Structure 1
């Protein structure tokens, strides 16, 4: 039942259209927060990170504090494409190969900021390597606690943020 040009929308039609709008907005927000991976996929990605990956805090801009960064380096582009498609986030870069006769092309999958934290939350139970597991746990448990959303830290907050980074490096 559609509306004619001369009719005035009723409260019921407004509620229905608003409800549809909210449902599509919810879908967009949920897809941004991450995807639902199977336990097998989580464990497999954790194994790849244990073997070929890196869990770090790094600066992306000069005046910025260190932020979560997870990367996987490999010569197998198909593997990295699978990880990217499974996680549904971030990018793969190609490293310059200066001697193609002796070396294969190399690629790096990277995931940063909140998406990196979400990935770490998903795979942390499956990580085996102690250093990587403890780094993941440290980021998951403390990063949001010491990170101010607007980036304006007072003296105490700044010390806490710097101590968090030093504790991370000591792991």
Structure 2
């Protein structure tokens, strides 16, 4: 019943509100099994925020997708079925990644991931013009932002 109500909320475009416990739980999953990155999704594009979580438990990723109302789940190719279990990856990109980071950032424990989340939240929108057109100054600022992000450890 709860899944159905959440699904209806998502389909109607309602914002899904996460409790503190749900935010903390998702942050724990990101701390343990996830990545916070800036990735290029297209050849001629600048790196954009991305959160990914890999798991062999599809139920976990379904729950996160249902609760957040965003992201996609991809099935990873398994080349050796006898030795490895099926693996799935939950991926959130662009503004959805920023939205999710703002919800869970306070609950992240791993220092590197907390730094990366704060860095994206505090700077990404400042170096990304809404119309996608970059002046020379904006282009340099975007490149510097990416280089500084890659130095975070």
The within-5 A match list for 1:12-161 is 28=13, 31=14, 34-161=15-142
Query: Aligned-residue CA RMSD in angstroms?
Result: 1.0
Structure 2: any 5+ residue segments left out of the alignment?
1-11
TM-score where L is the length of structure 2 = 0.89
Q: Equivalent residue of 1:150, what SS?
A: coil
Deviation, 1:35, is 2.2
- Number of equivalent positions: 141
1:23 counterpart residue number: none
1:122 and 1:35 map into 2 onto residues whose CA distance is: 12
Question: Where in structure 1 do 4 or more consecutive aligned residues deviate above 6 Å?
Answer: none
TM-score where L is the length of structure 1 = 0.80
